Amino acid sequence: MSSVLIDIPGLVDVALRFSRAIVNKIREYAAAHELFQLDLDQTIGFMDQLSLSLDFVLAIAPSLSPHIRRVISDAVSRLNTPLATTQSLLSEAVDSDGKLRRIWFTVVGKSSLQKSLAAVDKQHDLFLRCLHYSVLFGTAALQSRATASAAGGTRALARISSFREAVAGSQVDARFLLPPETLPDSAALIRLHSHSDIRIVALSGGRPALVEYRDYQPDDPASLRRLRDVASILSAASPDMSILPCLGFKPLPATKRCALVFPVPGTGKPRTLRDLLLAPENEKGVRHPLNDRIRLAVHLATAVLYVHTARFVHKAICPENIVVLDHPELADSKACFPWTLGSAYLAGFDFARHEDAASKRAGDNIWWRNLYRHPLRQSSHPETDFSMLHDIYSLGVVLLEIALWESFVLVGPDGSRTLGRQGRSFAKKGGKMKSPADIRVALLKKAREYVPLVLGAKYCEVVVMCLDCFDGGLGPTEELLDGDGVLLGVVFIQRVLAVLEEITV
């Protein structure tokens, strides 16, 4: 593994040279205004932040565990490819006199540079997730260094340092308990959609917020403390984690429930993934680019990574608990659904708990919820405790549904549910649902037969690995669930997130 350690300084040095060369080229060619139509002035700030993050990686490399060293070295290596392309294109865009090669730029250069910068952005996102992961699972000394680097202006580390403090419990205090006037009377809360338990409400000033409910015992201090812990950790989340930050919680003792409040960023209209899959606009044919589905999948995998990094399990990943927001900064009507898919956020934390918390093995036998549960976690009394792998299985089912862009479940006006066209293979001829094991077989069959035709072999590979995660899809189950969860996170980054990020269709 020592060769990997040697690799990190070398790879980081290459990345630093590329990023600094890109900044120098942009400054050198400031007179070529056409280049700056691509917002290359913003690229300077981006590269400066990247350099700070890379300097941090260089400093912490000797203290990283072998598994995390591999993740970081792979991430920097992937980042170097589009950085090299960007530097080369910038050099080619301007002649020896510092003038733009206009014909080349118009015919080839502009579009190539746009693609290259987009690739840098994509690989940078993955690099940051790996960096965040290394900080969250690093030693106390490494985490202290991250805090110092954040204070020195590294914004990416500032965000993750705040998240780490919340996970460690150092931010837990009364400020997450919302005052009574924060939420209006329950009658003013509107269901996000008829099939969703998530509500939407206008906070003071008219800002929209999502409201979720968790059961709790008012006379049990430990129950309230668990709610406070969840609110604390979610308060440190950020949209780039594909999790909406939590404003706080409001106990409702009369109903033995507690409201978690999540302000909605921007002005985008929140809709659940289920609502988008069932939208009437789909009947006229899918109009969004296929790459939007890949991006949606990346968002969801990112959210799962951060939930697990906080040592939580979600326990209810399904289209009803995925909120999609249109991009509010784009005024064009065709920048909204159905012409494009917005940003996805994992919601529905009403069943989430710390992975180490005692499991009551309490469940339900609601058939449509069971579609998203591993066979061992179905029925009113599941056979096994819930683990992170169960979330990954649920993610695989949702990724399959995204690929097909057709809901497995139809929802009537009264909220009743029936199997959709793509879900009919989950039932026997008489209409009775197949056994949990047979439904899993049907999901795998559907993934292998249809997904490669729509989103390609790599996406299919990810779906199958998730659905097969208890049967060696991601590696030996005992090893993945052993210890502090570092290995499972590393494998998830390498075999799910990184693969999804590489896909273009």
Q: Which CATH superfamily groups domain 269-502?
A: Transferase(Phosphotransferase) domain 1 (1.10.510.10)
Question: Using an 8 Å Cβ cutoff, are 346 and 303 in contact?
Answer: yes
Residue 21 neighbours by CB under 8 Å, 6+ apart: 87
Domain definitions of the chain by residue range: 2-168, 269-502
What pLDDT is stored for residue 333 in this prediction?
Answer: 66
Question: Using an 8 Å Cβ cutoff, are 73 and 126 in contact?
Answer: no
What pLDDT is stored for residue 383 in this prediction?
Answer: 64
Q: What's the CA gap between 231 and 247, in Å, rounded?
A: 8
For residue 268, CA distances in Å to 29, 238, 251, 402 come to 37, 16, 28, 21
Q: What's the CA gap between 481 and 475, in Å, rounded?
A: 10
User: Quick one: tokens of 26?
Assistant: 């942009």
What pLDDT is stored for residue 170 in this prediction?
Answer: 53
Q: What's the CA gap between 213 and 377, in Å, rounded?
A: 22
DSSP class of 431? S
Helices 110-136/290-309 angle, 10° precision = 20
Q: 414 burial class (0-12, 13-18, 19+ CB within 10 angstroms)?
A: exposed
Q: What's the CA gap between 225 and 33, in Å, rounded?
A: 57
Q: Give one DSSP letter per residue of 108-160, joined into a string.
A: IIHHHHHHHHHHHHHHHHHHHHHHHHHHHTS-HHHHHHHHHHHHTT-HHHHHH
What pLDDT is stored for residue 3 in this prediction?
Answer: 44
User: Distance from first CA to last CA of the chain, Å, rounded?
Assistant: 35
User: What is the distance, to the nearest Å, from the Cα of residue 297 to the centroid of all Cα atoms in its chain?
Assistant: 8
Strand partners, 210: 200, 262
Please report how many Cα atoms fall inside a 13 Å half-sphere around the Cα of residue 228, on the Cβ side: 17
Strand partners, 495: none
Type of residue found at 329: E
Closest residue by Cα to residue 491 from 499, 387, 61: 499
483-489 long-range contacts (CB < 8 A, ≥24 apart) are 484/137, 485/308, 485/311, 485/355, 485/388, 486/65, 486/67, 486/68, 486/137, 487/67, 488/308, 488/388, 488/389, 489/133, 489/137, 489/305, 489/308, 489/309
Q: What's the CA gap between 385 and 100, in Å, rounded?
A: 63
Q: What's the CA gap between 395 and 273, in Å, rounded?
A: 13
Using DSSP's 3-state secondary structure scheme, residue 259 falls into strand
What pLDDT is stored for residue 357 in this prediction?
Answer: 60
Q: What's the CA gap between 459 and 478, in Å, rounded?
A: 25
Omega of the bond leading into 338 within 30 degrees of 0 (cis) = yes
Q: What's the CA gap between 406 and 293, in Å, rounded?
A: 12
Q: What sign does the dihedral 131-133-139-145 (CA atoms) show?
A: positive
DSSP class of 247? -
User: Quick one: tokens of 307?
Assistant: 């939930």
- Global pTM value: 0.91
Q: How many CB atoms lie within 10 A of CB 185?
A: 6
What pLDDT is stored for residue 340 in this prediction?
Answer: 92
Closest residue by Cα to residue 311 from 70, 489, 132, 72: 489
Strand partners, 380: none
Tens of pLDDT along the chain (505 residues)? Answer: 444 444 899 999 999 999 999 988 887 776 555 565 566 778 888 899 999 999 999 999 988 888 899 999 999 999 999 999 999 998 888 777 767 788 887 888 888 988 999 999 999 999 999 999 998 888 788 888 888 888 777 888 888 888 888 887 755 555 677 877 677 665 456 777 667 788 888 887 778 889 998 888 888 888 888 888 888 899 999 999 999 999 988 888 888 888 899 998 876 789 999 999 999 999 888 999 999 999 999 999 999 999 999 889 999 999 999 999 987 655 566 778 999 999 999 999 988 877 766 555 455 778 999 999 999 888 666 767 888 999 999 999 999 999 999 999 999 888 889 999 999 999 998 889 999 999 999 999 999 999 999 999 999 999 999 999 999 989 888 788 766 678 899 999 999 999 999 998 7
DSSP class of 177? B
User: Quick one: tokens of 414?
Assistant: 């009264």
Q: What's the CA gap between 35 and 100, in Å, rounded?
A: 8
DSSP class of 495? I
Q: What's the CA gap between 379 and 367, in Å, rounded?
A: 9
Q: What's the CA gap between 51 and 47, in Å, rounded?
A: 6
